[in-house]
Structure 1
Amino acid sequence: MRSATPEGGGLTSAAQTHRLNTQGHPIGVKLLDLLLYREPARTQTRPLTIIALLHFIKIGVWTHLFGRAADGLEKSSDPAKPDEYMIIDNEPLVNRYVSVPREMSQLNCAAFVAGIVEGVCDGSGFPARVTAHTVGRQDEGEMWPGRTVFLVKFAPEVMEREGFLGKG
């Protein structure tokens, strides 16, 4: 295993972020099965729409992982990007107790959670690419300096299927 050091050939923060995302994916797939298995038999159904899936992630998955629901769920306001949704966490637990070296300041440890969310989406039959982005600023005195947005970008076939379901 290589370490990220400034003087010699270490992994970049982009590579580390991808690695964290990849490690979270199988956990998300298994977590989906676990959470659905624990549901009462009458309500034990997989989400069938994008909104139902994102609501399940915002409340069910977040509560199971962090003991509380995510702080927000938004659809992209850009009409050119109808396939993008955002799950907002004002203070991700995975970033709270991690000390990131200065040379890796672009590394967001919430990429691990993004991988879990991506695994839940893929396991539900909604292939998506999920990335974590820090939007808070430490130096500007914001209320939530560690605010992280999980950008969920669904595959084109998911949007096509959603269009068929919406018309039916």
Structure 2
Amino acid sequence: MMKKPNILERSLQKSKNAEINLSAFTFMFSEMIQYSQKRVHGIQDLEKKLSDYGYRVGIRVLELSAWREKSGRRETRVLPILYFITGPIWKMLFGKQADSLEKGTENEDEYMISDNEPILSKFISIPREMSLLNPSAFVGGIVEAILDGSQFPCRVTAHSTPIEGFPLHTTILIKFDKSVMQREKAFETR
């Protein structure tokens, strides 16, 4: 009988099997929140800490996805990199694509990624005194790291925006740096 290789011996190529069990992942995430909660002073600090953790993960996700793609090309426009995040990256992390990608109506430098049922929030029960906490700040950190690492400096925040039928609906708000929008306008004038 052939022995199955452990995770360190497996190829970095795409695999058809999930890399980690959902219940183990959500348990670890819940523990991470509890650990962080004891070391911060308020909800904003906790969300910042979760975003920082997500940023660390996002850098590694970008590196892994770049290695797996092997195309050798880097996205230079805003929409293609956002489609890359909402499609292949979201699917790699959460097993599905993001529910929508929208451009802000008030500011041309804002984009929103929506997830109707975020996996991270699905199995987390938040105490009443922390009802304003959005665990998806972790995902915001991942998105920010991928964009920063791809030369699209921005600021990313996560917002709970319950809608009918989706009480956990979350919007990841991306506000790009002015330099990104200037570069984008330069592409349009070519």
Same topology, TM > 0.5: yes
Quick check: 2:37–2:46 contact (8 Å CA) kept in 1?
Answer: no
Distance 1:102 1:120 in 2: 33
Query: Aligned letter for 2:127?
Result: P
Relative to structure 1, the CA distance from residue 118 to residue 3 in structure 2 (aligned partners, 3 Å threshold; closer, same or farther) is closer
1:100, distance to aligned residue in structure 2 (A): 1.0
1:44, distance to aligned residue in structure 2 (A): 3.4
Query: Aligned letter for 1:112?
Result: F
Structure 2: stretches of 5+ with no match in the other structure: 1-34
Do structure 1's residue 45 and structure 2's residue 73 form an aligned pair?
A: yes
Distance 1:84 1:46 in 2: 21
1:61-108 superposed Cα distances (whole Å, 9 cap, x missing partner) = 100000110000000111xx1100000000100001111111111100
- Choose from 153, 159, 169 the match for 1:147: 169
- Choose from 155, 159, 162 the match for 2:181: 159
TM-score (norm 1): 0.88
Q: Percent identity of the aligned residues?
A: 41
Structure 1: stretches of 5+ with no match in the other structure: none
Q: Equivalent residue for 1:114?
A: 140
Query: Aligned letter for 1:109?
Result: P
Q: Equivalent residue for 2:55?
A: 25
Distance 2:36 2:67 in 1: 39
Relative to structure 1, the CA distance from residue 2 to residue 25 in structure 2 (aligned partners, 3 Å threshold; closer, same or farther) is closer
Number of residue pairs the alignment of both structures matches: 156
Q: Equivalent residue for 2:125?
A: 99
| C-alpha RMSD of the superposition | 1.6
Relative to structure 1, the CA distance from residue 164 to residue 130 in structure 2 (aligned partners, 3 Å threshold; closer, same or farther) is same
